[in-house]
């Protein structure tokens, strides 16, 4: 008796039913934008045997449209031949990092803007963008050296990120100004060496005019106002001759001095005030238009703490000259007094001798 049993028929060219969906693959990693197409190639293997499968024979790979610019890339893997099924993977193209550096710079104030350059690093694949620094400062102080990027070249802003900024500082320092004081005679000739001094803007100053024997300056001192120096200053102090007093003549010796009388007791009158000899100085001020004005001021307004040590030497010299004059005057006065006393004694002796002779003549 013939026994017939059922058998599985495998049609040539048909995939093995037990092998369908039996594949696996690795996972993609994100990519950093580099300006070129970046397609991830998966590694696919037989799930049971671990055998590496062949692209196009065992599976196909397709990608979303853009695999170059920043964004998500979707990868679809489909089995073919003895393998079937579909696996979807995705990864990201991330922004390329840029490094921005701007320089620092400093200078003294000169009324012109201060700027500095900078660099942009990180553009890939010879892509271009316009980079410029925008930091600027003109007045005294500090400012950050900022920048801007104009995406007018081949590079796209969406593909880049500023990963690091190193911004410099622009500094305008207080300026130095020069104070110049010329000392001349009325005919323009030099009376004393020219004085010059460098001062930071806003610094105050006070300078006594040097002593020139026999001459007096039109300004005994020069000083700034409370705002200090605000620009280069040049002033001229003019010296004029002091009038020379007439030399007194020696009085003739009296033949017979008059009998001295007792001086009257002084009354309650006041001594006539001397002429105002308070030195006049010059205060330098800047008006609203920035022009310099020289305003006369009196010595009482001079802050002594601001005077130079050399200026006090002038005061000491004045004192010594006055002291010497007083000593000479005292000696001269004492000598005259002694001479007058001697003349009075001689006159008295002559008068006595005259009386004796008159008496002798009367007796004869």
pLDDT of amino acid 258: 53
Would you say residue 306 has pLDDT above 60?
no
- Summarize pLDDT for 276-296 with one digit per residue, the tens: 556 689 899 887 777 888 999
Least confident among 22-26, 160-164, 166-170, 189-193: 22-26
pTM of this prediction?
0.59
Average pLDDT value over all residues in the chain: 82
- Summarize pLDDT for 237-250 with one digit per residue, the tens: 999 999 887 666 66
pLDDT of amino acid 352: 80
How does residue 350 score in pLDDT terms, banded at 50, 70 and 90?
confident
Distance CA 39, CA 31 (A): 9
Contact between residue 228 and residue 204 where contact means Cβ atoms under 8 Å apart? yes
Least confident among 50-54, 85-89, 298-302, 341-345: 298-302
pLDDT of amino acid 269: 36
What string of DSSP letters covers 67-96? SSSSEEEEEEEEE-TT---EEEEEEEEEPE
Classify residue 150 by its DSSP letter: E
Would you say residue 23 has pLDDT above 80?
yes
Would you say residue 65 has pLDDT above 80?
yes
pLDDT of amino acid 309: 40
- Show Cβ contacts of residue 51 under 8 Å, excluding neighbours closer than 6 positions: 45
Give pairs for 316-320: CB < 8 Å, separation 24+: 317/211, 318/211
Mean pLDDT of 151-155: 97
Q: Give me the percent of the chain exceeding a pLDDT of 70.
A: 76
SS (H, E, C) 2-67: CCCCCCCCCCCCCCCHHHCCCEEECCCCCEECCCCCCCCCCCEEECCCCCECCECCCEEEEECCCC
- Show Cβ contacts of residue 226 under 8 Å, excluding neighbours closer than 6 positions: 204
Of residues 327 and 121, more confidence is placed in 121
- Show Cβ contacts of residue 192 under 8 Å, excluding neighbours closer than 6 positions: 183, 209, 210, 212
Please report the sign of the dihedral spanned by the C-alpha atoms of residue 335, residue 337, residue 341, residue 344: positive
pLDDT of amino acid 127: 98
pLDDT of amino acid 298: 82
Distance CA 315, CA 309 (A): 10
């Amino acid at each position: 008796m013939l026994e017939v049993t059922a058998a599985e028929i495998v049609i040539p060219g048909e995939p093995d039913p037990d092998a369908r969906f039996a594949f696996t693959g690795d996972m993609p990693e994100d990519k950093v934008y580099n300006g070129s197409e970046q397609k991830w190639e998966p590694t696919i293997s037989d799930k049971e045997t671990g055998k590496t499968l062949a692209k196009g024979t065992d599976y196909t790979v397709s990608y979303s449209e853009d695999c170059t610019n920043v964004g998500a890339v979707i990868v679809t893997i489909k089995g073919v031949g003895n393998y079937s099924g579909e696996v979807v993977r995705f990864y990201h193209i991330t922004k390329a990092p840029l490094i921005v550096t701007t320089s620092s710079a400093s200078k003294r104030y000169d009324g012109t803007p201060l700027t500095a350059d900078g660099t942009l690093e990180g553009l890939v694949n010879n892509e271009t963008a316009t980079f410029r620094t925008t930091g600027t400062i003109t007045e005294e102080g500090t400012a950050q050296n900022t920048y801007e990027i104009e995406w007018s070249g081949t590079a796209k802003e969406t593909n880049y990120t500023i990963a690091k900024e190193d911004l410099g500082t622009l500094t305008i320092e207080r300026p130095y100004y020069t104070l110049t004081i010329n000392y001349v005679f009325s005919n323009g000739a030099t009376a004393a060496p020219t004085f010059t001094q460098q001062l930071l803007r806003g610094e105050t100053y006070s300078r006594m005019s040097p002593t020139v024997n026999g001459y007096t300056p039109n300004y005994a001192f020069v000083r700034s106002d409370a705002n200090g120096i605000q620009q280069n200053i040049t002033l001229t102090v003019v010296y004029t001759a002091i009038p020379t007093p007439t030399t007194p003549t020696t009085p003739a010796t009296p033949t017979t001095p008059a009998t001295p009388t007792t001086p009257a007791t002084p009354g309650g009158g006041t001594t006539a005030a001397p002429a105002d000899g308070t030195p006049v100085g010059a205060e330098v001020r800047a008006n609203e238009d920035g022009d310099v004005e020289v305003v006369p001021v009196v010595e009482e307004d001079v802050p002594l703490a601001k005077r130079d040590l050399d200026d006090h030497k002038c005061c000491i010299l004045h004192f010594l000259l006055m002291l010497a004059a007083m000593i000479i005057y005292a000696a001269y006065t004492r000598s005259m007094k002694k001479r007058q006393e001697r003349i009075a004694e001689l006159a008295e002796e002559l008068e006595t001798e005259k009386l004796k002779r008159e008496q002798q003549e009367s007796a004869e």
